[in-house]
Amino acid sequence: MANIGVDILHAATLLGNNNLVAIPTETVYGLAANALSEKAVVKIFEAKNRPSFDPLIVHVADVAQFEKYAQNIPDIALKLAEEICPGPVTFVLDKQPIIPHIVTSGHHTVGLRVPNHPLTLQLLQTLNFPLAAPSANPFGYVSPTMAQHVQDQLGQKVPYILDGGSCAVGIESTILDFSKGNKKVLRLGGMSLEFLEGKLKTKLEVQTSSSNPNAPGMLVSHYNPGKKIFVGESINKLLDEHAGEFADARIGVLAFRDYQPEIDKKLQRVLSPSGNLTEAAYNFFTMLRAFNTLPVDVVLAEWLPDEGLGRAINDRLKRASTN
Ligand code: TXA
Ligand code: MG
């Protein structure tokens, strides 16, 4: 099992010796290694069972570091980064040669992000290298938002988990592509489209499909909690439409605001009784993960309003329900 603690110097020593450390961020926990060391980064792919075509995000202490690891950065991207970092957003930019190909899966771009978590920012300031870190879950599974989630799934494979409590945002960063003249969203995430468009004073193209060669990790099937998931307009509608199919199934419910009266409350999770999308994002992965151990055969979930963080949660619900 991994040790869990708040010892930044211990984490820094492990990382300096090419070992893995799980780190807290405001979005989800990351499985970190020295991004400049191939020997360290290969351990991430092994521990997660991650296919080598899926590139890793590189985490840095501040925007001033961007020029060390990226080049041809458009002014608009740099200006935006200075305004909104640290925060739940990743910038895809042309990479500098110092970033090894294993990190970027052979692409000439690199995803850079300044995570907004005090422990990890302090850790990054201590290190003289950036941290490559995907979400700290086995490939294809639900992202971890607490140290214990990492322990449960990757505890055998990572020596140390830096414990930063529950992740404040709860869903992964929004990925913005500013490479090669692009201005696109590759992944909807913890920073809403409306907010980003407001900052940029322009509409953004959203291209999050797995067929986009510039978004190699956006797989159609992802975030699997080990149960079959159906998503619909409302739980009632799903129950009506699939009545025959569910006749003998034990049903779990992942609802937005309200419990479903005819189903045992213990088998239900409500994302935000007050209908707050930020609260729903905070609860989303923990509640989705709970169905893994609850005695249910199928999970019925309902779409959230397609605005703000609701859009990013819906994207994840769609991938979680695809197998
Ligand atoms: O919030 C987050 O972004 C978290 C925390 C730990 O920082 N990290 C995270 O990493 O979600 P991961 O590996 O689970 O998802 C990273 C996504 C993948 O879909 C990958 O394809 C994409 O980022 N990505 C990374 N580098 C890229 C690049 N150069 N071009 C396009 N997409 C890239
Ligand atoms: Mg992930």
Partners of 175 in beta bridges: 90, 187
Query: Hey, what are 154's tokens?
Result: 């990757």
CA–CA separation, 40 vs 301, rounded Å? 39
CATH number (domain holding residue 96): 3.90.870.10
Is the beta carbon of 104 within 6 A of some atom in ligand 1?
A: yes
Whether residues 247 and 281 fall in one domain: yes
Residue 145 in this model has a pLDDT that exceeds 90: yes
Is there a contact between 281 and 313 (Cβ–Cβ < 8 Å)? yes
User: What is the per-residue pLDDT for 261?
Assistant: 95
Whether residues 309 and 236 fall in one domain: yes
What residues make up the domain containing 198?
Answer: 3-206
Whether residues 278 and 197 fall in one domain: no
Whether residues 191 and 141 fall in one domain: yes
AA letter at 78? L
DSSP 235: H
Partners of 230 in beta bridges: 300
Pick from 86, 71, 94, 148: nearest CA to 119: 86
Whether residues 195 and 294 fall in one domain: no
Which residue, judged by its Cα, is nearest atom 15 of ligand 1? 134
Rounded distance from Cα 71 to ligand 2 centre (Å): 25
| DSSP H stretches of helix in 127-234 | 147-154, 193-200
> Which residues fall inside 5 Å of ion ligand 2, going by CB?
135
Q: List pLDDT tens digits, range 15-38.
A: 999 999 999 999 999 999 999 999
Query: Average pLDDT in the 287-291 region?
Result: 97
Q: How far lies 271's CA from each of 46, 87, 165, 254, 280, in Å? A: 33, 23, 19, 7, 5
CA–CA separation, 289 vs 285, rounded Å? 6
Whether residues 180 and 232 fall in one domain: no
Query: pLDDT confidence of 243, banded at 50, 70, 90?
Result: confident
Whether residues 260 and 201 fall in one domain: no
Whether residues 22 and 76 fall in one domain: yes
Is there a contact between 145 and 170 (Cβ–Cβ < 8 Å)? yes
Give the percent of the chain with pLDDT over 90: 91
